[in-house]
């Protein structure tokens, strides 16, 4: 801070709209990963970039109040989910990390392909979000 208070009204107003669009885009990338470019990694990176935009427009304290999450636990939960999807395949007497899929009749969507690979992708997504946000918050709160 150079001693004078700056007024970031335009940046903060744009951030309020844009961060939700980025979050929606990251959700789309996450779900599109099976048949199109995308997946857990790039989806997690876009989610953390939405949070980084919030950090830029506001400050660390405000974002902590809005998202009271310790991101190291998020990364740990992601790793746990990824391991559990691998271990879960032992329940069906198949090798470690075997995945399967099936077609189901859902109420609104109609005939949908549901794959257990999505569960593994959720793990990747949570690890990427957790690690990226931990790095950025740790570097951000110097002094």
Partner 1 sequence: MFELIIYTALGILALSTFLYVIRVIKGPTVPDRVVALDSIGINLIAITGLLCILLNTSVFLDIILLFGILAFIGTVAFSKFLEKGEIIENDRRR
Question: Which residues here bind partner 1, judged by CB under 8 A?
Answer: 1-2, 6, 11, 18, 22, 25, 29, 32, 36-38, 42, 46, 49, 52-53, 55-62, 136-137, 139-141, 143
Q: Give Rg (Cα) of the chain.
A: 19
The dihedral formed by the CA atoms of 71, 72, 73 and 74, expressed in degrees to the nearest 10 = 50
> Which C-beta is closer to partner 1: that of 109 or that of 139?
139
> Which C-beta is closer to partner 1: that of 66 or that of 94?
66
Instruction: Please state the closest distance from residue 47 (CB atom) to partner 1, in A.
Output: 12
> Which C-beta is closer to partner 1: that of 32 or that of 83?
32
Q: Is the CA virtual torsion 83, 128, 77, 140 positive or negative?
A: positive
Coil vs helix vs strand at 112: strand
């Amino acid at each position: 801070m150079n001693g004078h208070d700056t007024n970031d009204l335009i940046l903060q107003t744009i951030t309020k709209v844009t961060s939700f669009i980025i979050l929606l885009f990251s959700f789309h990338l996450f779900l599109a990963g099976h048949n199109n470019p995308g997946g857990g990694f790039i989806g997690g990176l876009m989610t953390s970039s939405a949070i980084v935009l919030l950090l830029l427009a506001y400050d660390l304290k405000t974002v902590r109040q809005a998202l009271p999450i310790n991101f190291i636990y998020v990364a740990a939960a992601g790793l746990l989910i990824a391991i559990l999807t691998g271990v879960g395949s032992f329940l069906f007497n198949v090798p470690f990390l075997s995945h399967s899929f099936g077609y189901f009749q859902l109420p609104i969507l109609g005939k949908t392909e549901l794959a257990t690979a999505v569960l593994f992708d959720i793990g990747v997504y949570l690890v990427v979000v957790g690690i990226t946000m931990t790095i950025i918050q740790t570097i951000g709160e110097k002094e």
